[in-house]
Amino acid sequence: MRSLRLIRALTALALACPCIASAAAPSDTPGAPPLFHVAAPEGAPLTFLAYGDTRFTERDGVASPEARRGLARRMATESPAAIFIGGDLVYQGSDPADYDTYRRETAEWRERRIPVYPALGNHEFRGCDGPPTPCLENWWQAFPELRPFRWYSVALGSQARVILLDSDSGLKPGAPQRVWFEQQVRAADPQVKFLLVMLHYPPVRDPIYPRGRDEAEIAGYFAAHARSMHAKVLVIGSHVHNYERFRKNGVTYLVSGGGGAKPHPALRLFGELSHLRTSVNYHYLRITIDGDRLSGVMVRFDPGANDPWSEPDRFEIGR
């Protein structure tokens, strides 16, 4: 009887936990940030989803619960290989209640056993004006496989590698995260076809938005190295609560911050490629890798429309 109660308790805990799913396994390298693995389907394209700035919270005026929940439900129905979140998962990182909101509103992701891989954003540290430890503790409790690290990587089959960075940690040459980042790029290239980098502050974006920290270092690194790399590079940032797409020095840069946070305008000047005319763009990205080609779709949600779903922007990265 005691064993049966234990099994039931462990099962309930597994269903309640918003953790990285068991489909991913960490690297065996002792003391290093983890490398998780997501299996690619045999003989079929690999599809995963990405977005940011969800701001899971019960607070009023900082996010649209209708948009956030609608996106989460729709993403679950796609049954992707994984979901990547580019930061600002919650509104206030010091408040465990915001993570409870995340658990409730994404329950279907766990029911479908979809692996979830988050990057840290500035709101993960909101409310921790001194040491960030209390905020990080809430994040690590939500994603215990990441403890005690703030950056890590994910292998998507043998074709793609995703590097998830912490925008609030240093990225200048010589900083620990920058050293690790360059090691990851060298390790992935030329073995993988596509290298994806995900971080909260977008390295390339509408210049009306001020620089956050060291994110421009990523654009500078790829300006010097991307054209000589075997892998094709896609960089996804969030922070700006809208959608933007750029192409610079052989690299595709996306801003995907339409996960539910209060919308920001986008001027769509300075080489922005989507040319969207809508000012509010709640959305997620559907990214598919099929052989030597990566294709992306911006899936837009308009909560007030009769037909709320559209796909107004698409892009491809070929070999």
Residue 101 belongs to a domain with what CATH number? 3.60.21.10
Mean pLDDT of the chain: 91
CB half-sphere exposure, 226, CA atoms < 13 A: 21
Mean pLDDT of 96-110: 98
Q: Is the pLDDT of residue 166 over 90?
A: yes
Whether the link from the prior residue into 148 is cis, omega within 30° of 0, is yes
Instruction: Provide the pLDDT confidence category of residue 10 given band limits of 50, 70 and 90.
Output: very low
Residue 19 lies in a domain: no
| Alpha helix stretches (DSSP H) within 210-250 | 216-225
Residue 2 inside a domain? The answer is no
- Position 17 scores a pLDDT of 47
The residue ranking higher by pLDDT, 189 or 103, is 103
Of 258, 223, 260, 237, the C-alpha closest to 66 is 260
Residue 84 lies in a domain: yes
124, pLDDT greater than 90: yes
Where in the sequence is the domain holding 42, given as residue range(s)? 30-318
114 vs 99: CA distance, rounded Å: 18
Enter the pTM of the model.
0.92
Quick one: pLDDT band at residue 42, thresholds 50, 70, 90? confident
Total count of domains within the chain? 1
Radius of gyration, alpha carbons of the chain = 19
Domain-located, residue 145 = yes
11 belongs to a structural domain: no
Which of 3-17, 40-54, 301-315 is predicted with the least confidence, judged by mean pLDDT?
3-17
pLDDT at 259 over 90: yes
